[in-house]
C-alpha cells in the first residue's frame, strides 16, 4: 500500500504526518522548526526526518508541504512574517531532489487546513467552503466548486485582512482595523482586558484565576473561565461571537458558501463562541445568501494542515497521472 506524507511548517514547530490514500493517520512526528538556523539547515533536517517514510514498498508517493506564509503560483514562499529566512523558498525545487525526485505540492497552511476539512473533516463533501483560522492571527481559505481558490498569483484568501474600521486597532500586517486586529488572540485579549478593568473585584475573580493558571490574559484563560460558568468570560465570548458572526455575514453575502469552518485556538470555545456567531450571522446576512449555510467548528485539530497538505499532494499526483492503485 502506497502512502502520502504531509508537513506543516510553522514558526515554532514542524508537524509531519504519514497517511493512507483514504486519509487514515499512520504516523506523526513533531520537531522544532528553528528557523533562525536558516532555510538550508531546516530543509536538511526535514528531509532526514521524513526520508524513512519515502522508501520501501509502502513508501510515500507524494509529499505535501503547508507553510505559515503566502505561497505564490510558482510554489515559492513570498511572505512569511514568522519565518523571515524562508521567504524566497522554492519548496519543491529544494526538497524533491533530496527525496529521490518525489512529487512535492506546496500550499499556504490555512489552504491546506481547509482542504483537509473539506475531504475528511467538518466540511466533508461540500463544494463551496470558507475557513477562518482564529489564532495568533486570522487566516482564511476559500474553496469554490470543489477547488481551492488561489487567485491570480496564488495568494488569495486573506480573509483576516479585510478592513472593518479604517482607524481601528493596528494589525500585524502594518495596516489598521482589519478582522485580525479584532478576532486574533491579541485583539480578544485587548477586549477582555477592557472588560476586566471595568468589572468589580467580585465580577473578575474567576477570570483572574484562569489568567493565573494560564500565566497571562489570553483566549484560553477566557475560554477556561467561561466553561466554568463565569458570567464575565461568557459575556466576552458572546461579544467576540457577535463580531465573528458579522464578519461571516459579509463573507456569506460575497461567496454564498455551503459551510464556514472556524478553526484555530479560539474555536476551542465551541458553541460558547459559535452560538452567538450563528445568531449574528443570521441577523446580518441576506436571506437568499445565507440559505442552508452552516457555521461549524473544525474537526481535524492540530494535524489539519499537515493532513490537508498530504491530500493536496494526492490530488496533484492524480492529475499528473502517476497515482498507483
**Taking the CB of residue 38, how many other CB atoms lie within 10 A of it?**
12
DSSP 152: T
Tell me the C-alpha distance between 165 and 177, whole Å.
5
Percent above pLDDT 90 for the chain? 84
Q: Where in the chain are the domains?
A: 3-115+302-320, 125-298
Quote the Cα angle for 252-256-262, to 5°: 50
How confident is residue 268, by pLDDT bands cut at 50, 70 and 90? confident
Cell 472593518 -> residue: 164
- Cβ-contact 117, 244 below 8 angstroms: no
CATH code assigned to 125-298: 3.30.420.40
Contacts of 235 (CB under 8 A, 6+ apart): 195
Question: According to the model, what pLDDT value does residue 318 have?
Answer: 86
Q: Say what the pLDDT of residue 322 is.
A: 60
Strand 77-79, strand 103-108: pairing: unpaired
* Segment 137-147 mean pLDDT: 96
Which CA distances in Å does 199 have to 37, 158, 183, 218? 46, 35, 22, 17
- Set of cell numbers at residue 59: 513508501
DSSP structure class, residue 171: P
- Residue 81: predicted pLDDT: 84
Across 116-141, average pLDDT: 96
| Average pLDDT for 14-33 | 93
Q: Does the pLDDT of residue 325 top 50, yes or no? A: no
Q: Which residue do the cell numbers 511548517 mark?
A: 9
Nearest to 144 by CA among 68, 251, 296: 251
212-256: per-residue pLDDT in tens?
Answer: 999 999 989 999 999 999 999 999 999 999 999 999 999 999 999
> By mean pLDDT, which of 25-29, 58-62, 174-178, 312-316 is the weakest?
58-62
Q: Which residues contact 277 (CB under 8 A, 6 or more apart)?
A: 241, 242, 244, 245, 248, 262, 295
Do you know the residue count of the chain? 325
The average pLDDT across 85-99 equals 94
Distance CA 111, CA 99 (A): 24
Question: Is the model's pLDDT at 19 over the cut of 70?
Answer: yes
Q: Which CATH code fits 3-115+302-320? A: 3.30.420.40
Supply 254's cell numbers. Answer: 460575497
Amino acid at each position: 500500500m502506497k502512502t502520502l506524507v504531509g508537513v506543516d511548517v510553522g514558526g515554532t514547530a514542524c508537524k509531519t504526518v504519514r497517511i493512507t490514500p483514504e486519509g487514515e493517520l499512520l504516523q506523526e512526528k513533531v520537531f522544532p522548526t528553528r528557523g533562525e538556523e536558516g532555510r538550508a539547515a531546516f530543509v536538511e533536517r526535514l528531509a532526514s526526518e521524513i526520508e524513512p517514510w519515502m522508501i520501501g514498498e509502502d513508501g510515500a508517493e507524494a509529499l505535501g508541504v503547508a507553510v505559515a506564509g503566502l505561497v505564490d503560483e510558482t510554489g515559492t514562499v513570498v511572505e512569511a512574517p514568522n519565518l523571515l529566512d524562508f521567504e524566497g523558498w522554492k519548496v519543491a525545487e529544494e526538497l524533491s531532489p533530496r527525496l529521490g525526485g518525489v512529487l512535492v505540492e506546496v500550499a499556504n497552511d490555512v489552504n491546506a487546513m481547509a482542504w483537509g476539512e473539506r475531504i475528511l473533516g467538518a466540511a466533508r463533501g461540500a463544494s463551496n467552503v470558507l475557513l477562518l483560522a482564529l489564532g495568533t492571527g486570522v487566516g482564511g481559505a476559500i474553496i469554490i466548486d470543489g477547488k481551492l481558490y488561489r487567485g491570480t498569483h496564488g495568494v488569495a484568501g486573506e480573509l483576516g485582512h479585510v478592513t472593518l474600521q479604517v482607524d481601528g486597532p493596528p494589525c500585524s500586517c502594518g495596516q489598521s482595523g482589519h478582522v485580525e486586529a479584532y478576532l486574533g488572540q491579541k485583539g480578544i485579549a485587548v477586549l477582555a482586558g477592557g472588560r476586566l478593568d471595568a468589572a468589580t473585584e467580585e465580577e473578575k475573580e474567576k477570570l483572574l484565576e484562569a489568567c493565573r493558571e494560564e500565566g497571562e490574559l489570553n483566549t484560553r484563560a477566557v475560554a477556561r473561565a467561561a466553561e466554568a460558568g463565569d458570567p464575565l468570560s461568557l459575556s466576552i465570548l458572546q461579544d467576540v461571537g457577535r463580531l465573528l458572526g458579522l464578519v461571516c455575514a459579509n463573507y456569506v453575502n460575497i461567496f454564498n458558501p455551503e459551510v464556514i469552518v472556524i478553526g484555530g485556538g479560539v474555536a476551542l470555545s465551541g458553541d460558547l463562541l459559535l452560538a452567538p456567531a450563528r445568531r449574528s450571522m443570521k441577523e446580518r446576512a441576506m436571506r437568499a445568501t445565507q440559505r442552508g449555510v452552516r457555521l461549524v467548528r473544525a474537526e481535524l485539530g492540530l494535524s489539519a494542515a499537515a493532513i490537508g497538505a498530504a491530500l493536496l499532494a494526492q490530488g496533484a499526483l492524480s492529475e499528473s497521472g502517476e497515482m498507483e492503485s
